Structure formats: structure tokens, C-alpha cells
Amino acid sequence: MSDVTRRGVLGGIGAAAAGPAMAGASRHHHTAPHGQTGGAMFTHAAPPMARVRCAIIGAGERGTPMAQLLAELDGVEIVAVCDIDEFVLDRTLKNVTTLTGKTPARYTGDIHAYRHMLDRPDVDVVFVFTPWQWHAPMALDALNRGKHAFVEVPIATRIEDMWALVETSERTGLHCMMLENCCYGREELMVLNMVRQNLFGELLHGEAAYLHELKQQLSRRQRGEGVWRPFWQTRQRGNLYPTHGLGPVAQYMNINRGDRFDYAVSMDSPALGMAKYAREKLPEGDPARGWNFLTGDISSSLIKTVKGRTILVQHDIDSPRPYSRHNYILGTNGAFGGYPPRIALDAGGLSTDHHKWDNAVDGYYAKYEHPLWAKLANQTSRDGSHGGMDFVMLWRLIYCLRNGLPVDQPVYDGAAWSALFELSDRSVRNRSAPQDFPDFTRGGWRHAASYGIRA
């Protein structure tokens, strides 16, 4: 990436990171568009599409494999791809051409080249696979040009931008869905199926996390996430990546569908891991050796829901420990814990001793496999990453578009799950003061149907 491009990326991060301090000082009253009730996008279904014509913004570490999966799905045509890095752009175009025999249109140049692509009349859907600070502006541009927007996590970094996405999606009647792939993992879907069958009883508590050592990105700042992601740790405190763990737990608890996040308190540890890595691993003269890292090595937030349930959410990308998303749910009749998966049930379990974890989960998969995963099990091998969840997510998304169905995770979910990005920063900077979650549904959560089984 050129120096000019790098300055553009860093400038975008700086503008985005300034948001929490300003947004925390103002509270706006948001109302539903005229003639709509809050939560209208829960049931909104766009007209069916015989062919889903897609444009992709971002062909890097995430966009390249996702473009390949999309190209392999029936009824999908990738019309155009945009990226400022011509190397990754050409790589993606070559992959799509090999798979489909058609070469998508190529857009590159400055950071706003994607806007020319959005003016194409032959694009119905836009996928955004870019650095975090561009998710909201690019999705808003897509919606305002009449395109459905499907956005990588988080859906936005500022709550005001989340409100803008909610209101624009409602006003235009276009889908704006965050691509939280972890909600489509085999384990998460099985647990959702078990929750809906009431095997855990009344839910009480959940735990969610993103524990994934990523210090090595400091040594890979020429291309990929290393170009931009480490800089967030010099500008932001709290939880920088809440949705992978929080999304599935929120679905178990029917958040935005009979319950919602009420408030959160957050705290963090000292920020030591990245600075230690920089001192020990980076060469003399590397400017990152002098960066002032702000993000605590581990951030912990405790969310209270309106129904009184609790959710622990943690973030740690600096510590040398195994990957985990926790994926823990506790109810009056039992519990499930992930990493490694284990179950304890009062009744309906496969173990005779519910006072011990049952680690033999294969039997539970045989009995409680989610019907969507069971339906696609023979095809998940197409997805070379994330255990098949990316394929299941994209297959389901395209199925909804082609059949005129509401999407599984409308804009309210992406906003609510992403809101902890800003709220945790505010809380830790204010001695863990409680921070209220906005009600992005504006009361619609009280009447929305339960998050059901998708098949």
C-alpha cells in the first residue's frame, strides 16, 4: 500500500476514533420513519431475485475468500470488485474468472473509487470487506444508491453511525446486515437449536469472547490487516471486537426479540502485550516501537438485559493463550460451554451425572444438529476457513434474497452487537461507569418474533 493510501487509512481511523468522546456528550432522539413502527426491518422482505448481482468492496484477507465462496453459489453473479490495492484486486478477479468464466469489472484508484461502482444499474447487492472505519460510510453509500448492504464486523464503530444505518435501512427498505459468521458455526447452531427446545430452561447468563493472539500483525504492516488494525490499539480502549462471541449468545437469549441489552459496565487490564512485542520483535528504527498502546490486554464487560440476565464479554488479542469465543450459556436446567465444547443438563442429556461436564458432544450433534447445518453438511467443505460457517452464512443469505425472505440478522442486530465497541471505551475511561445501550428497534423488540430455527 502506498504512503498516500496509508495516510488515508490512518486518517480514517483517527476520525473514527474521535467519535466516542463526541458522541458520548450528546443524545439524540431517533424516531421511526413516517408510517413505520420501530423494528420494521425484522419482517421486511425484499422482492425475490432470480439472480443476485453483487459488487464487492475490499479484496484483501477477508474479501478474497468470500468472493470465491460467493462465486460458487447458484444464482450469484459477481459484477464488479473494488480495492485500492491492485495486487489483491487482481488476485480476486482472477479467482472469480477461473470459477465462473466471467471477469468482473475492475475499480481501483483512490479510496472513493467504490462510489463509481455503486452507480452501476446492474448491481443489486454490495458486500463490504474493508477496514472497520469504512464499514458504515460504505454501507450508507450503498443503501443511498439503492443497493442492499452486507457488511463485515463490526457494522460500525460509532453509535451515531449505527443509528444512521438503522434509519437508512428503514427509509430505503433495503437490507443492511452485518456478516457475523460465528452465528452460523456448527456448534453455535446446535446450541441455538437446543435453546429453542428449552433444554437449558430459562436462560440466566451467557459468556462471550474474542481471545485470539494477534500481536504478530505488528510485524506485517505492508499488506493485510496489519496495515490498519494495530493502530486501533493506540486510539481506543475497551472491546475492539465484540460481535464474534456476543452475536450467538444474543441469539440464544432472543435479544431484540423479547429482551434487549440494557446497560454495560466495562474495565480493562494494563496495556502491556503489544508494547512488549514491539520492543522485543521489531527492528531498531521501526516507529511502532514507540507507539503508546491504550487498549488493555484484556477487556471485560458485563451486560445487563432488560429481563435481568447477564452476559460477560471479553476481548484479548495480546496474551499467549489458545483461541476462544467462550460461547457459554447457562439456564435453570443446564449449561453449555465452548472451547472445548461441554454440556451439563438436568434432563435430556446423554450423561447420567449432570454434576460433571459431558465432553462427549458427538452424541449431541447426532441428536440436536441444527437443520440448516444438517442440510448443508455435504457442502461445507467448500469453505476452507472457519470450519464451514462462512459458506453456511452466505448460502443462507443468498437463499433469503432469492426467495424474498427477511434476513436472519437485520440492521438492529448488527447495531446492538457492535455498540459495545463504543460503550466499553466510554465505560473504562469513566471508572467503569454504566453505559446505556440505545434501543435501535425503538420498542420493536417487545413484539418481534422469537429468533427461530432457520433451515
Contact 364, 350 (CB under 8 A): yes
What is the C-alpha separation between 202 and 91, in angstroms, rounded? Answer: 49
Give SS3 for 124.
coil
Residue 251: left (phi > 0), alpha (psi -120 to 50), or beta? alpha
The distance between the two most distant Cα atoms of the chain, rounded to a whole number of Å, is 64
Say what percent of the chain tops pLDDT 70.
91
pLDDT at position 380 is: 76
Contact 348, 199 (CB under 8 A): yes
Task: Provide the CATH number for the domain formed by 3-13+48-179 in this structure.
Answer: 3.40.50.720
What letter represents residue 181's amino acid? N
pLDDT at position 236 is: 96
pLDDT in tens, 230-286: 999 999 999 999 999 999 999 999 999 999 999 999 999 999 999 999 999 999 999
pLDDT mean across residues, the chain: 92
Q: 351: pLDDT confidence band, cut at 50, 70 and 90? A: confident
Q: What is the mean pLDDT of residues 170-196?
A: 97
Q: What is the mean pLDDT of residues 283-297?
A: 97
With a CB cutoff of 8 Å and minimum separation 6, the contacts of 392 are: 184, 189, 372, 373, 376, 380, 383
pLDDT at position 203 is: 98
pLDDT at position 352 is: 72
CATH of range 183-446; options 3.90.1580.10, 3.40.50.150, 3.30.360.10, 3.40.718.10:
3.30.360.10
Nearest to 9 by CA among 137, 131, 112: 131
Q: What is the mean pLDDT of residues 417-424?
A: 98
CATH topology match: 3-13+48-179 vs 183-446:
no
C-alpha cell at 158: 460509532
Half-sphere exposure of 222 (CA within 13 A, CB side): 3
pLDDT at position 387 is: 87
Q: What is the mean pLDDT of residues 21-36?
A: 53
pLDDT in tens, 76-92: 999 999 999 999 999 99
pLDDT at position 355 is: 77
Contact 414, 440 (CB under 8 A): no
pLDDT at position 383 is: 61
Q: Where are the domains of the chain?
A: 3-13+48-179, 183-446
pLDDT in tens, 399-414: 999 999 999 999 999 9
Instruction: Name which of 6-10, 154-158, 240-244, 333-337 the model is least confident about.
Output: 6-10
Give the count of beta carbons closer than 10 Å to the beta carbon of residue 281.
14
